[in-house]
């Protein structure tokens, strides 16, 4: 076994690798950028080396700096994690040339599977079924459009390099092909440095089912069964599970045999995943699956496989990289129970899953799994850490295991309802809604499920009167107890003459809320909500009086003690998986609020102005694309919210922060 390894990654996967290395007695070296100087993976590792500025191109993608750090630290091997340089064959060559071991497959294997078009041609030769489509080298738009017509619409344009949904566009009609191709190419170039694409038939009811494979340097290869990753938004996975719901014995046999055949065809060593697209329109059948791509690395969702097989995949990676044979034969690898993984992201589900930033002022995960289930939390952040615009906005992976799918799904719902995050917009409520969706719960899932149910899944009910009252009491500062996280459980103190009610102002979205907090004769607090003053059309709870432990005569009682978090200028009250965040305005700062009115369009997230499609003085109509903002390697189109004339527009190449004015409109449109 290695004595010391360097982990060429960050966040939760770096922390995950450190835990297994520590278990095996292997010392670890972390690397970090400027933004990650105080990160959790830096704290956990035995040593840490600074490798550059915050942008990935100046740090985590600098293979020369990473190799230099490994040699300086005396590491024997480099573990790439996933993403960044994990599937870069040139980096593998450089690691080997430096006399170090790359904990992963050979450069030749990565090259064989690294480009989707070449990989599919290779799989066809190996007898593995592939999706009908064009996987050739020619990239002229006329040819690609012609191939799309031959394949038949709808088609899917996909970057031939990389993954994660980047550089991918679904096209329904020939008239939309050119625009979709341009967007896919730009996004692929930004994410992978390669703008070449392939065109495939779009499967009407696609299931994304992948098989975990593992090989060694002695020609052995096994599978560790399948995972279902069909629950996706923007072509990116949000909840994964193992085994796949509805999996038949015939399909499992055909799919796992094809996966092992694919791994052996390229003499694969280490952990890898063979991804298949499955046509589920007529149920899962053994002749309706096709090879999609291979990920020549550890997957984000690998914990669900570990949960149902009891195998530590990182431990296997380290053992195989040291020259050992696979620890188990195929017959020794058994399935047990069911597992789910939910990805907790800093993102706004209600706004099309826009990535978010912010400081995690409050971060609390469940203390334990429900009875009869097990749970693990994979995270690379702590309370007080910031979600940076430079990297993927994942906060954590919540992984649960139960005796069957129903038990595991119930454990997932319970765990999500007990997760508390405040300081950034997060997707916890969306995940909980998805876990309880009737189709998902029944296992009737495909890659279009979230899109079909998106409005329902992302809708958040308005806060109840009890929730608002709890926030008002916590924000009021009425009595010393109200400064704590548990003001309602304590007496305010005896008062012969009761104090005048203290007025407290909150803001929830566009709603201004006024509340009066006073002390009851029994010494407890009482909250009276006045009517809202509002700019929204959302339904509001009625004004009323709320008192904890009331006898019902003087007000409504809280049924249970509210969960909340106080953070600078805000209070967040948690109801199940929903976190209702209320701003607590500073009266002295009210004059500075919202200077820019509807005459401007602001950046919804930090990013780079990639492309500008309008000019100063141009008359535009509502819905017209004005510019493209690139954030976290994904493109987001910013469209005109109304008709108008452009008075000012950001320049291409401008780096903007959340809230930066991108477009200003003239007061009136010219005729």
> What gap in Å lies between CA 102 and CA 88, rounded to an integer?
11
Cβ pair 160, 149 in contact under 8 A: no
Cis ω on the peptide bond leading into residue 154 (within 30° of 0)? Answer: yes
Report which DSSP code applies to 324.
P
Three-class SS state of 481: helix
Residues involved in catalysis? 297
> What gap in Å lies between CA 655 and CA 208, rounded to an integer?
35
**Whose CA is closest to 421, among 399, 401, 396, 400?**
396
Handedness of CA 437, 439, 445, 447 (dihedral sign): negative
In angstroms, what CA-CA distances link 10 with 15, 34, 35, 54, 369? 8, 12, 11, 12, 27
> What gap in Å lies between CA 293 and CA 273, rounded to an integer?
8
b/e map 495-514, b = 16+ CB within 10 Å: eeeeeebbebbbbbeebebb
**Whose CA is closest to 104, among 260, 363, 295?**
295
Residue 438's contacts (CB-CB under 8 Å, 6 or more residues apart) are none
176 φ/ψ angles, rounded to the nearest 5 degrees: -95, -5
Token pair, residue 642, equals 């109304």
Three-class SS state of 408: helix
170 φ/ψ angles, rounded to the nearest 5 degrees: -90, 135
Q: Edge-to-edge, what's the strand order for the sheet holding 600-602?
A: 600-602, 661-665, 644-649, 619-620
Token pair, residue 600, equals 């401007």
> What gap in Å lies between CA 53 and CA 529, rounded to an integer?
49
> What gap in Å lies between CA 665 and CA 643, rounded to an integer?
9
Rg of the chain over Cα atoms, rounded to whole angstroms, equals 27
b/e map 206-242, b = 16+ CB within 10 Å: bbbbbbbbbbbeeebbbbbbbbbbbbbbebbbbbbbb
> What gap in Å lies between CA 248 and CA 118, rounded to an integer?
30
């Amino acid at each position: 076994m290695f004595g010391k390894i360097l982990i060429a990654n960050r966040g939760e996967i770096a922390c995950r690798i450190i835990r297994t290395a520590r278990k095996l007695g292997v010392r670890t070296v972390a690397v970090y950028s400027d933004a990650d100087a105080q990160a959790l993976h830096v704290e956990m590792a035995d040593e840490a080396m600074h490798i550059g500025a915050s942008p990935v191109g100046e740090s985590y993608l600098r293979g020369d700096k990473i190799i230099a750090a490994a040699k300086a630290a005396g590491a024997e091997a480099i573990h790439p994690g996933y993403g960044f340089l994990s599937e870069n064959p040139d980096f593998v060559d450089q690691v080997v040339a430096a006399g170090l071991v790359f904990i992963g497959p050979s450069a030749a294997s990565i090259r064989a599977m690294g480009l989707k078009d070449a990989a599919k041609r290779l799989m066809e030769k190996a007898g593995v079924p592939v999706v009908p489509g064009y996987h050739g080298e020619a990239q002229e738009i006329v040819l690609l459009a012609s191939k799309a017509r031959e394949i038949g619409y709808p088609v899917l344009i996909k970057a031939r390099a990389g993954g994660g949904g980047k550089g991918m566009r679904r096209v329904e009609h020939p008239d939309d092909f050119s625009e979709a191709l341009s967007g896919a190419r730009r996004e692929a170039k930004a994410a992978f440095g390669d703008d070449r694409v392939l065109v495939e038939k779009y499967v009407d009811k696609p299931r994304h089912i992948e098989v975990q494979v593992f090989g060694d340097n002695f020609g052995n290869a096994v599978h560790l069964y399948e995972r279902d990753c069909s629950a996706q938004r923007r072509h990116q996975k949000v909840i994964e599970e193992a085994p796949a719901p509805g999996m038949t014995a015939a399909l499992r046999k055909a799919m796992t045999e094809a996966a092992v055949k694919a791994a052996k065809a390229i003499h694969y060593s280490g952990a890898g995943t063979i991804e298949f697209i499955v046509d589920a329109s007529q149920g899962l059948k053994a002749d309706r699956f096709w090879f999609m791509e291979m990920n020549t690395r550890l997957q984000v969702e690998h914990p669900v496989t570990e949960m149902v097989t009891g195998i530590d995949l990182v431990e296997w990676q380290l053992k195989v990289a040291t020259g050992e044979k696979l620890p188990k034969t195929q017959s020794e690898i058994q399935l047990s129970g069911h597992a789910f993984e939910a990805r907790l992201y800093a993102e706004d589900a209600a706004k099309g899953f826009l990535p978010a930033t912010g400081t995690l002022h409050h971060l609390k995960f469940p203390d334990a799994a429900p009875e009869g289930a097990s749970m693990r939390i994979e995270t690379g952040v702590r309370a007080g850490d910031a979600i940076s615009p430079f990297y993927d906005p994942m906060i954590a992976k919540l992984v649960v295991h139960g005796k069957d799918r129903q038990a595991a799904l119930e454990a997932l719902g319970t765990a999500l309802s007990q997760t508390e995050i405040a300081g950034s917009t997060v997707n916890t409520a969306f995940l909980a809604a998805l876990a309880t969706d009737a189709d998902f719960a029944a296992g009737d899932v495909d890659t279009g499920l979230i899109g079909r149910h998106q409005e329902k899944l992302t809708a958040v009910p308005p806060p109840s009167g009890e929730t608002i009252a709890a926030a008002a009491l916590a924000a009021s500062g009425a009595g010393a107890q109200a400064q704590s996280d548990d003001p309602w459980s304590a007496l305010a103190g005896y008062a012969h003459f009761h104090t005048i009610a203290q007025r407290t102002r909150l803001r929830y979205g566009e709603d201004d809320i006024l509340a009066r907090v006073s002390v009851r004769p029994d010494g407890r607090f009482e909250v009276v909500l006045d009517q809202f003053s509002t700019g929204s059309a959302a339904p509001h709870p009625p004004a009323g009086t709320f008192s904890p432990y009331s006898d019902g005569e003087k007000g409504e009682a809280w049924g249970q003690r509210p969960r909340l978090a106080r953070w600078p200028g805000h209070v967040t009250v948690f109801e199940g998986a929903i976190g209702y965040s209320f701003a607590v305005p500073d009266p002295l700062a009210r004059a500075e609020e919202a200077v820019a009115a509807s005459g401007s369009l602001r950046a919804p997230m930090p990013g780079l102005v990639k492309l500008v499609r309008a000019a100063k003085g141009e008359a535009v109509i509502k819905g017209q694309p004005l510019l493209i903002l690139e954030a976290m390697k994904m493109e987001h189109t910013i469209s005109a919210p109304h008709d108008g004339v452009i008075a000012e527009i950001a320049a291409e190449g401008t780096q903007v922060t959340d809230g930066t004015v991108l477009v200003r409109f003239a007061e009136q449109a010219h005729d």
